[in-house]
Amino acid sequence: MALKASELKVGDTYSECVVEDLKRTQIVQYAGASGDYNPLHTDEIFTTQVAKYPSVFAHGMLSMGMTGRMITNYVGDGRLKKFGVRFTSQVWPGDTLNATATVEEVTEEDGEMVVNLKVETTNQDGATVISGYACARVDP
Amino acid sequence: MAVSKFPVEASHIMMFARSVADDNQIYYDDEYAKKTEPGTIIAPPTFVQASAQFDPDYSLRPKVGAPWFGSGKEATGIKREGSGSGGGGGGGLHAEQHYEYHRHPKPGDILTGETKPGKTWEKEGRRSGKLVFSESITEYRDQNGELVVTARGVGVRTERPVDQ
């Protein structure tokens, strides 16, 4: 199941739909599990009336967490060495997100083979919500 | 943020994996996990964010007897000074998050998290006015003092809610 350096090519991609029609309940689940109870994510009254956003929106870290699932499904368990993102647009209830990893480089680092990936997650309108990178150990 | 004791527990990993809709059985089933390359349940990549649960002073969790800014009878439980035009929307948002894994946390680990401030910088935003970015770096170490995960977060405070 692990990736092999010898079989990877620059430009290879792997994609997953990481959420379809994001539910408010999933955002509540994430708040509970992560401990981030910012009402901007779960409290429609506060968010619309006080914070003046059109509705509650997902934690950036929920989108990053779901994007991480795509990466670990691709690179295998326990293989991830680095993962970083910028949150470029907010994610709203009802959004459908697709996450894609693109091979940028296969190289040797500290005596082991690694793959450097570009990571991008987009919504149903094609807007980028997460833009980042990951690095994972691969077999030779 | 400083977390002096973050016990990594299998049930917490399970709940966290559920919340990010990750059904990889390595996060749920220790019998399954034994047959994987790590040989144990491990934490999903963004799990250390849940160290907030173990930060006694974490500001985004309601606390017994303290006012809470979310809605109850009123839209917010906090009485604001002055007219407060623009409301509370020009608050903090998460701009970036980076992790480096020295190894992956697993149940039984007892982590500590020590956070140091990083750089701060400003930018004029098209959709939200002046943006003030600030970076923080957290080192998560295990019960033996070994570095497990290095996390670098960037927060941004906006002048007004982000235009949609």
Chain B residues whose CB is inside 8 A of the A38 CB are 60
Q: How far apart are CA B49 and CA B82, in angstroms?
A: 35
pLDDT band at B108 (very low <50, low <70, confident <90, very high): very high
A118 neighbors A57 (Cβ within 8 angstroms): no
Q: Give the residue from chain B lying closest to A31, CA to CA.
A: B19
Of B38, B50, B161, the CB nearest to A34: B50
Of B24, B38, B69, the CB nearest to A39: B69
Average pLDDT over residues A72-86: 98
Residue B89: predicted pLDDT: 46
Identify the DSSP state of B84.
-
* Assessment of whether the complete model's pTM goes beyond 0.90: yes
Interface mutation target, options B3, B18, B49, chain A, most CBs of A under 10 Å:
B49
pLDDT band at A87 (very low <50, low <70, confident <90, very high): very high
Chain A residues whose CB is inside 8 A of the B104 CB are 78, 80
Distance from CA of B154 to the nearest CA of A (A): 9
Q: Give the residue from chain B lying closest to A59, CA to CA.
A: B94
Distance from CA of A9 to the nearest CA of B (A): 24
Q: Measured in Å, how far apart are chain B's first and last C-alpha atoms?
A: 31
Q: How far apart are CA A108 and CA B45, in angstroms?
A: 22
Chain A residues whose CB is inside 8 A of the B95 CB are 86-87
- A72·B96 Cβ contact <8 A: no
Contact residues for B41 (Cβ-Cβ < 8 A; gap 6+): B10, B13, B26, B27, B28, B29, B30, B33, B106, B107
In the CATH scheme, what is the homologous superfamily, with its name and number, of domain A5-137?
Hotdog Thioesterase (3.10.129.10)
Residues belonging to chain A? 140
Q: Which amino acid is at A35?
A: G
Q: Is A52 helix (H, G, I), strand (E, B) or coil?
A: coil
- B98·A69 Cβ contact <8 A: no
Q: Which helix (H) or strand (E) element contains residue A130?
A: strand A128-137
Supply the CATH classification number for the domain B2-7+43-60+89-158: 3.10.129.10
Rg from Cα positions in chain B: 19
Residue A137: predicted pLDDT: 98
pLDDT band at B1 (very low <50, low <70, confident <90, very high): low
Q: How far apart are CA B74 and CA B103, in angstroms?
A: 46
Residue B121: predicted pLDDT: 95
Q: How far apart are CA A29 and CA A38, in angstroms?
A: 13
pLDDT at A96 over 90: yes
Residues belonging to chain B? 164
Q: How far apart are CA A98 and CA A18, in angstroms?
A: 6
Lowest mean pLDDT among A40-54, B75-89, B95-109, B115-129: B75-89
Residue B84: predicted pLDDT: 38
Spatial CA neighbour of A102 closest among A8, A15, A13, A18: A13
Residue B83: predicted pLDDT: 37
Contact residues for B74 (Cβ-Cβ < 8 A; gap 6+): none
- A60·B93 Cβ contact <8 A: yes
Distance from CA of A99 to the nearest CA of B (A): 13
Residue B164: predicted pLDDT: 73
B104 neighbors B111 (Cβ within 8 angstroms): no
- B101·A81 Cβ contact <8 A: yes
pLDDT band at B128 (very low <50, low <70, confident <90, very high): confident
Residue A98: predicted pLDDT: 98
pLDDT at B88 over 50: no
Taking the domains of chain B in order of start, what are their residue ranges? 2-7+43-60+89-158
Quote the mean pLDDT of chain B: 90
pLDDT band at B91 (very low <50, low <70, confident <90, very high): low
Average pLDDT over residues B72-94: 65
